[in-house]
């Protein structure tokens, strides 16, 4: 069956999660050399907290997780508390990767359904989409808050079928997170892993059907 729906993860896939730390470094000398590690620690803790909360049944929204992860990352480098609010403010307007607007516009020109499926809270996702100016190219913004558990719980991936219908294999699911792409493949989606960092594949219960270094590969799969 041909692809009818293309669903994107948000953070790290459409939106550059390193952008907040990188941009903050322009105004805060304390981050001049520290920002790459800060960005890496912040993201790593953000993800690990979602997995731990899902496993323990202790859900909270992604904004709380984002704040908790940043607090850990700042303390790990003994960075001042004064950096906290500027970094959090920047997270609400993360930049999109350069190819994002063109890829989304191309999919809509083909008449395909498009959407986001993310751990992000609805408010966070709406702010990011508005900041990037891509809302006109998306048919749905789906948040895990609808089911109260983070990825890769199957209930999250169920949201796509509930919104768009169709067979799982008719969905092209696109994520830069290897674990997310693998889990979505195991769920039954046709999956593209956007491996921007050249990382090895995760050893999980599913294996992405496609792999590329950026989102332009979507055009050849639809």
Residue 70 zone, left/alpha/beta (φ > 0; ψ -120 to 50; rest): alpha
Are 12 and 116 in the same domain? yes
Give the list of residues 6+ apart from residue 2 with CB closer than 8 angstroms, or none: 170
Q: Is 6 exposed, middle or buried (0-12, 13-18, 19+ CB in 10 A)?
A: buried
Strand ranges inside 23-139, DSSP E: 113-118
| DSSP secondary structure code for residue 96 in this structure | B
Are 214 and 114 in the same domain? yes
Among the candidates 59, 91, 123, a domain finishes at 91
Buried b (16+ CB within 10 A) or exposed e, 40-57: ebbbebbbebbeebbeee
Instruction: Give residue 76's domain range.
Output: 19-91
Are 103 and 195 in the same domain? yes
Buried b (16+ CB within 10 A) or exposed e, 129-143: beebebeebbbebbb
Of residues 202, 13, 164, the one with CA closest to residue 99: 13
Are 160 and 212 in the same domain? yes
Among the candidates 67, 91, 115, a domain finishes at 91
What tokens were used for 34? Answer: 């520290």
Q: What is the domain-level CATH number for residue 199?
A: 3.40.50.1000
Are 55 and 102 in the same domain? no
Per-residue pLDDT tens over the stretch 60-114:
999 999 999 999 999 999 998 899 999 999 999 998 999 999 999 999 999 999 9
Among the candidates 50, 72, 91, a domain finishes at 91
Q: What is the domain-level CATH number for residue 30?
A: 1.10.150.240
User: How far is the C-alpha of 190 from the C-alpha of 62, rounded, in Å?
Assistant: 26
What tokens were used for 205? Answer: 């219960």
The percent of residues in the chain predicted with pLDDT above 70, rounded, is: 100
Are 86 and 106 in the same domain? no
pTM of the model: 0.95
Per-residue pLDDT tens over the stretch 167-214:
999 999 999 999 999 999 999 999 999 999 999 999 999 999 999 999
| C-alpha neighbours within 13 Å on the C-beta side of residue 192 | 25
- The DSSP bridge partners found for residue 175 are 193
Tokens 């909360």, residue? Answer: 53
User: How far is the C-alpha of 30 from the C-alpha of 96, rounded, in Å?
Assistant: 25
Number of domains in the chain: 2
Of residues 41, 13, 47, the one with CA closest to residue 194: 13
pLDDT at position 1 over 70: no
Are 134 and 215 in the same domain? yes
Per-residue pLDDT tens over the stretch 152-167:
999 999 999 999 999 9
Measured at the CA of 212, the angle between CA 222 and CA 8, to 5 degrees, comes to 55
Structural element, H or E, at residue 181? helix 178-187
Contact (CB, 8 A) for 167 and 183: no
For the annotated catalytic residues, the residue numbers are 9
């Amino acid at each position: 069956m041909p692809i009818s729906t293309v669903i994107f993860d948000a953070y790290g896939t459409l939106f550059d999660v390193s952008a907040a730390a990188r941009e903050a470094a322009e105004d805060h000398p304390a981050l001049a050399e520290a920002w790459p590690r800060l960005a890496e620690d912040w993201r790593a803790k953000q993800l690990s907290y979602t997995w731990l909360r899902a496993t323990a049944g202790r859900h909270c929204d992604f904004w709380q997780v984002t704040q908790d992860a940043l607090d850990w990352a700042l303390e790990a480098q003994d960075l001042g508390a004064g950096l906290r609010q500027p970094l959090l403010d920047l997270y609400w307007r993360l930049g999109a990767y350069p190819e994002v607007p063109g890829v989304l516009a191309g999919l809509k020109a083909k008449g395909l359904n498009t959407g986001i499926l993310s751990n992000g809270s609805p408010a966070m996702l709406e702010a990011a989409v508005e900041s990037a100016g891509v809302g006109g190219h998306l048919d749905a913004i789906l948040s895990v808050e609808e089911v109260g558990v983070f990825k890769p719980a199957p209930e999250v991936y169920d949201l796509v079928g509930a919104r768009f219908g169709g067979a799982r294999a008719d969905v092209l699911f696109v994520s830069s997170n290897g674990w997310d792409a693998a889990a979505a493949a195991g769920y039954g989606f046709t999956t593209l892993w956007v491996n921007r960092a050249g990382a090895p594949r995760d050893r999980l219960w599913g294996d992405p059907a496609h792999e590329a270094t950026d989102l332009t590969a979507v055009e050849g799969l639809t």
